[in-house]
């Protein structure tokens, strides 16, 4: 999900102002590895009852775990899955020549050694970039530090060697490459665009995604977007694909209990918004009663600490999207929390 939640829609801003007061407070053993791996393969395409309510408690590595690995790279995805992540969360943009690439921002400036909009570049141009260029361990992408702060800079060019990995693992991957590399790992896909006002850019990426998923026989994916119009357009094109609620729909449900669009299987929410707790035990219980899974993201809404992770586990959320997947994994293991395919402690 996005780094900072922004309610750009005037309708939702008005709704939030009007309804906040009325809404009131929102309410493993070694053998487990094989069991969890098997659970990832045993997906059914059923939508009722909602299978995502049974897939818990998931470590959903956000962008592959951007505080521990260069975000949205194959290196990040491979490392996070190896340490125990149950699901990958990633973002997609579309290129000038119609490919779906995995990157959060509309430009390449923040994470690579290049500059410019993804939409204006071809896949070959994007593949020439170093997607680990600005990565600082523990901090994600940070500009302006001494060169020694960037241990993976140049790995995409073969200038830095990393055991078990190739230069391509540090470049910008396509969605197709991620699907091929992880056929049995559930994937959460967020449709991105150039900016909130450019709805057409979101729809273009969503249309390409719908076309691609029509060729994939996978039921272990969820597609979401902050842009409600783009997600609605995607659903019309690919009604078989499970969705998370878009921004306006999610807040309308949170504040007023408005029904969610058909096809929604999960609410993916921040810990807080504008000082208002969103991911609470009461909210999760309400969502579960209505048949929706709840996944919590942290970026810009709460510190990525042991205390925060523990508090969110205790809300009974079905999945957490950490920037530090190894930290979350250690907490889940230490507490013996149930995982997909592995019985354990039910935090509820």
* Cβ–Cβ under 8 Å, residues 175 and 189: yes
Catalytic residue among 99, 104, 133, 235: 104
Q: Which one-letter DSSP state was computed for residue 260?
A: P
CA distance 291 to 8: 28
Q: For residue 23, with 0-12 CB atoms within 10 Å meaning exposed, 13-18 middle and 19 or more buried, which class applies?
A: middle
Give the number of other Cβ atoms within 10 Å of residue 49's Cβ.
Answer: 9
Residue 287 Ramachandran class (φ > 0 left, ψ -120 to 50 alpha, else beta):
alpha
Greatest Cα pair distance in the chain: 58
104 is catalytic: yes
Antiparallel, parallel or unpaired: β 58-62 and 276-277: unpaired
Report in angstroms the alpha-carbon separations of 233 from 47, 141, 200, 230, 303: 20, 32, 10, 5, 34
Of the candidates 41, 80, 308, 54, the residue with the CA atom closest to the CA atom of residue 186: 41
CA distance 258 to 244: 15
Catalytic residue among 62, 67, 133, 295: 62
CA distance 149 to 200: 38
CB-based contacts of 6, cutoff 8 Å, min separation 6: 196
In degrees and rounded to multiples of 5, residue 272 shows phi and psi of -140, 165
143 is catalytic: no
Residues annotated catalytic, as ranges: 62, 104
């Amino acid at each position: 999900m996005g780094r900072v939640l922004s309610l750009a829609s005037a309708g939702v801003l008005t709704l939030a102002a009007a309804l906040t007061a009325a809404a009131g407070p929102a309410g493993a053993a070694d053998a487990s590895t094989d069991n969890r791996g098997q659970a990832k393969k045993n997906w059914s395409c059923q939508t009722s009852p909602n299978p995502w309510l049974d897939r818990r408690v998931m470590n959903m590595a956000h962008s592959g775990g951007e505080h521990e690995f260069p975000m949205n790279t194959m290196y990040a995805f491979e490392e996070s899955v190896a340490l125990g992540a149950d699901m990958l969360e990633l973002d997609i943009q579309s290129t000038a020549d119609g490919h779906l690439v995995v990157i959060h921002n509309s430009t390449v400036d923040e994470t690579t050694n290049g500059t410019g909009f993804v939409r204006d570049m071809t896949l070959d141009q994007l593949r020439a970039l170093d997607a680990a260029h600005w990565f600082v361990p523990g901090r994600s992408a940070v500009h302006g530090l001494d060169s020694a702060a960037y241990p993976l800079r140049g790995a995409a060019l073969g200038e830095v060697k990393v055991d078990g990995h190739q230069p391509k693992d540090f470049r910008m991957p396509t969605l197709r490459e991620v699907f091929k590399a992880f056929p049995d790992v559930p994937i959460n896909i967020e449709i991105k665009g150039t900016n909130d006002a450019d709805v057409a850019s979101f729809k273009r990426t969503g249309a390409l995604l719908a076309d691609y998923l029509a060729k994939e026989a996978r039921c272990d994916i969820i597609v979401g977007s902050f842009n409600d119009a783009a997600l609605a357009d995607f659903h019309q094109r690919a009604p078989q694909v499970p969705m998370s609620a878009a921004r306006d729909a999610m807040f309308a449900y949170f504040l007023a209990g408005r029904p969610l669009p058909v096809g929604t299987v999960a609410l993916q929410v921040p810990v807080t918004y504008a000082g208002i707790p969103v991911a609470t035990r009461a909210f999760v219980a309400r969502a579960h009663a209505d048949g929706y899974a709840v996944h919590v993201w942290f970026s810009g809404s709460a510190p990525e600490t042991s205390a925060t992770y523990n508090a969110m586990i205790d809300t009974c959320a079905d999945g957490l999207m950490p920037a530090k997947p190894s930290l979350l994994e250690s907490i889940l293991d230490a507490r013996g929390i149930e995982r997909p395919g592995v019985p354990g402690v039910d935090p509820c």
